[in-house]
Structure formats: structure tokens, C-alpha cells
């Protein structure tokens, strides 16, 4: 790994580390101060705080397969670490770092929260209307995906802007109305 790759890997690890620390701190605060029975409105009915324990993935999908979700989460963390080591830009490293931090935050819950090792339930507390309840790890996952998508969109636009769109591979297209002769 060269110096620039090491710098980008460090950026990804720093982003991931911040996400994990903030995620775990907010989950601890939620455990200490929120109730499963009472919802605290922040923005009326749009956003509130309510404690839930999610055995599944998003929208509680796969709730009966918590152990499998833990294994998938650990596998995703490994893949994301490799991706972080191969990040080609600083922004790509930030995006991967946010996703990595979110994944690690939720895997920590799955590994160490009740009801037991490897089958723990994820602590959620951010209630989005009546849609679902999530946590800051989930917010980081979404933010990381947005950073990567914007990065890809900008890169695509730059590539298109630097590549002449002339309609013919290998040369300019004839002007509109001009005659192209074969002789």
C-alpha cells in the first residue's frame, strides 16, 4: 500500500471509527433514557424517539434469521475493509467509511446485545413517522451510500464532459447537411 492509499484507508477508518463511537454512545443513551412504550415527538409525528430492539434487518425483515444476519454483517465488514484499503479517492474513502461504521455499529449489537452472542437485537430509537424505527448506524449507512452515489455521478459527468460525443467512434461526425463522398 503506497502513501496515498494509506491516507485514504486512514480516512475510511477515521470515518468508521467516529460513526461507531457516536452510534454506540447514542444507543447507550437511548437504553438509559427511552421507553419502549412511550414515543417522544421531535418533529411532530414525522420524527420521534422510541426504544425498540430489532432482531431483523431494515423493517425487521429476516427477524427469524438473526444469526444469519450477524454472519452476513461480519462478512460485509470484511468486504468493506478491503474496499476501504482500495479506495481510489478521498470521497470514496469517506463513503465507504460511513458504510463500514454503520455496519460495525449494528454488528456490535448483534454480537453483544441480548438475547445472546451472535443473535443480539439491534437497538433502534429514531422513529420516522409510522414507517420504521432506526438508529444512527442506519443514518451513516444511508449517508455513505449517498456520498458514493454523488461521487459516481460527478465522475460520470466529468468523463462524459471530457469525451467528445461525436456520434462516430474514432472521428468527428459530418456536419448537418454536408455531403460525404466516397471518392
| Measured distance CA(122)–CA(114) in Å, rounded | 9
Candidates 103, 47, 93, 48; CA nearest to 72 is 103
Which residues partner with 41 through β-bridges? 48
Which one of the listed residues 23, 37, 109, 138 is annotated catalytic? Answer: 138
Which one of the listed residues 23, 37, 45, 124 is annotated catalytic? Answer: 124
| Residue 138 annotated among the catalytic residues of the structure | yes
141, 102 in Cβ contact below 8 A?
yes
What are the helix and strand counts (H, E) for the chain?
4, 4
| Residue 23 annotated among the catalytic residues of the structure | no
The residues annotated as belonging to the active site are 124, 138
Amino acid at each position: 500500500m503506497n502513501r496515498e492509499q494509506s491516507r485514504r484507508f486512514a480516512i475510511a477508518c477515521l470515518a468508521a471509527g467516529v460513526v461507531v463511537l457516536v452510534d454506540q454512545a447514542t444507543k447507550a443513551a437511548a437504553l438509559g433514557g427511552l421507553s419502549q412504550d412511550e414515543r417522544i415527538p421531535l418533529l411532530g409525528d414525522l420524527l420521534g424517539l422510541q426504544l425498540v430492539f430489532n432482531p431483523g434487518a431494515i423493517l425487521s425483515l429476516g427477524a427469524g434469521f438473526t444469526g444469519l444476519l450477524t454472519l452476513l454483517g461480519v462478512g460485509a465488514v470484511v468486504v468493506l475493509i478491503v474496499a476501504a484499503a482500495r479506495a481510489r479517492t478521498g470521497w470514496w474513502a469517506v463513503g465507504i467509511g460511513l458504510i463500514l461504521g454503520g455496519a460495525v455499529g449494528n454488528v456490535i449489537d448483534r454480537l453483544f446485545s441480548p438475547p445472546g452472542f451472535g443473535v443480539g437485537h439491534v437497538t433502534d430509537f429514531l422513529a420516522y413517522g409510522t414507517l420504521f424505527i432506526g438508529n444512527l448506524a442506519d443514518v451513516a449507512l444511508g449517508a455513505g451510500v449517498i456520498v458514493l452515489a454523488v461521487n459516481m455521478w460527478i465522475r460520470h459527468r466529468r468523463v462524459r464532459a471530457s469525451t467528445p460525443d461525436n456520434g462516430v467512434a474514432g472521428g468527428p461526425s459530418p456536419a448537418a447537411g454536408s455531403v460525404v463522398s466516397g471518392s
